[in-house]
Structure 1
């Protein structure tokens, strides 16, 4: 079963084609602050770049299809020399039967329940072909022109609805979507699994299995998330009453609601209501304090409690004790910690309510989660948007310098030489996927990094070698000198041609918006220095 336009129901929506245009623009094409007045589809035919819809940034490339609801604000910037797209705008007519007669009114809404953003579809090329055929019909002058274009529009929307994909690329099941619409509409009431399964036309066990496969969670957990998300909106409103919020989202018991809310978000709803006024501390080696700074909030205390196996344990314990004392004196209302600080959870919790964020390879997930805890989600989206445009600018600046040359990253510690791999990691994704730089294959693609003693490093077969000096202590300098005496170092193309450069701790910087901006700046500085001083890196042979 698929989404249908219910032409015989008491109230029906009929989409009509308003206009279509094919837009082709050249180098440095940009759009700033345009607002959509009608429901639209945007298909990218050629080129790539950044498309920002209501402050949410997307990567736009050939074949990408986007839904634009009325009121959507658009910003865009092209990376390619030529950008081409088809824009299709619609009017939605509502037909309502009143006392046996049909009345027609216009509606600004999209004819189907699709949210603004990227629309993933199976058979992408067929979708492109259908849109191009509709455009050719729209431009034509055939006698049945009017009937043909609206018929093709309905067929196109039906095709897209039948082939929509979830974020995990599973096919959208309209039966499950109907049950989700029911959840949204009646979340304030009691909803049973049997009801939802009946709406989807499945047995309860089949419904539960299908739902979990499509959405990655059980129907009960999904309903709970919908309720908590609605509660979050209400809790930010002035003069809201906790008991009333609990009832309005389907939790008759205020205490049960508070327990479910805290299980989901990590903080009680009473704390969430004043989240933008909290005194916040961090316990993190992943730069959570810098995430807060990017959101315009200065932490009252910063704890970095993870022990370094290469440093003196006694001195580290003293430093940790000192940081805990400072944390107590700061009297925070909330402590946000990374998963490395789970062993300290009980100690942290004795000072203030503590949330330990789960491990993830997605730095954006961390940033938006921190933003939500302190009431600065909009600033997080603005940070993402700024970074996307800055990244596009940097990729254009870096391409003439790096081209197809190979890049390798190294860290020098007091004991080891660490070579960065190409496994799943935010830094690798930034350098090689987002900026399009080419990695040197010095370690296994499945590894994030490998460690070596100084005199047994592999051949540094790379055109550019970027080195982070984790320590400037004499023992670290000794490790560095020993490495520079090896044949693997002296035969490296990067060393021979002077393309060896010092960098900051990119492993850490890549987890925050400000850190990623610093990485982009350092890469551009390396490019500029190599133009001014060809064959002379920052580190001598």
Structure 2
């Protein structure tokens, strides 16, 4: 089926004086057997061609390029193109056509002139590293193709410009790769991702087009240490993270690129100053890491579960905290933070937050998300100085904001750094077993089964952080996609993550009763962080998912 969208417009700053104005004309989507005969065509408009599936050849001005999955091409008016698709292989592709002009101002008057090429981007095939992000952007543009109102069309245009910006950033990165210093940064990134492999510095030098001596010299100039020292640093940092969750030195050494646990222990002591066994006892076997007794009490009241998580992660115990919901909608203490909050005064849950209790507690500050106002929780600033923040799925932005307000910036950066290392460890482990496999996160609710979108809590963790492949049913931002149990059981996914919300037992039972479900790989996860949470919840979520995953593949 072919579909298209009307034109939308918007300006973008250009490197020259003036502003580039893009006009998105049409979006076509083709999915099926390609029956057209190969013949030359002249390109009439600036065109982006994104191949999602297919095989064949695209000839542009006499140069042949392979048609294959996740290839992207940028065409300019006047180019001669010829498409040849291999017989019997379905083709799925998006075509985006647009015009471009440069708006300049002279003597308080504006003039518009045509522009032949987008700056920073070479036309033809574009190397895209983050193809998943580009794919989501293009599909989101196609979903909004029927925008009628000015506001929706403006949103469509912003999405188009965001995609062009992403392509420019990709092109900039590719240009930087020709610079030796940027090549060193790419080598460091490679070590960050493949530290568990048998990496040889001589091989990396050869791939960079340099001898080992020149490579080491340029690497130290760019990164600040020799490549061998940097690789050791990365491996030891990953080992520190693994030691928190792993049972033995042998497992850690094998997963961080060391030949055996004895060599690992010797290098660990050389770098850290103490053996790994002492490091574990010193950092992870203390009561202070698991109880709230050493938290610093502060006269700060928080009104939402995520905020409790943030403050405890910053080493602070609030003067007042909210409750959580039980399955029957009664209120109880937040389960995964219970050990910290036994004696903390509780002020209700979401819409039932009690301002009278807040007044009696007389806090110095209240922290509240802006959406609390939509629940009727207003005029908190009449009780105490109130800091309102915008909620984001990516907890790290909120964590930095709250840490700045509370004077805990250094602690926040340590929390974020630890989480990022944890993500890398989990990502490497899961990709070795399930690279290319399709995942979906299903939330059992009282109304039906929600397919958690790419931008939800669970989607952010699975698809954006762990970089697992979403099943085709996963949308970008449709939080209201509810399906019936029989539809959920038929989803084409290799792994199904299952979470349950309040009142969902009947829907869950219906889903689990389907025979098709029992043939799939199921990972059942707790409510946090898949529905709510902050740094502690997300850290627990990764550990829990990784534990389930490893047990499944023993």
Structure-1-length-normalised TM-score: 0.44
Structure-2-length-normalised TM-score: 0.43
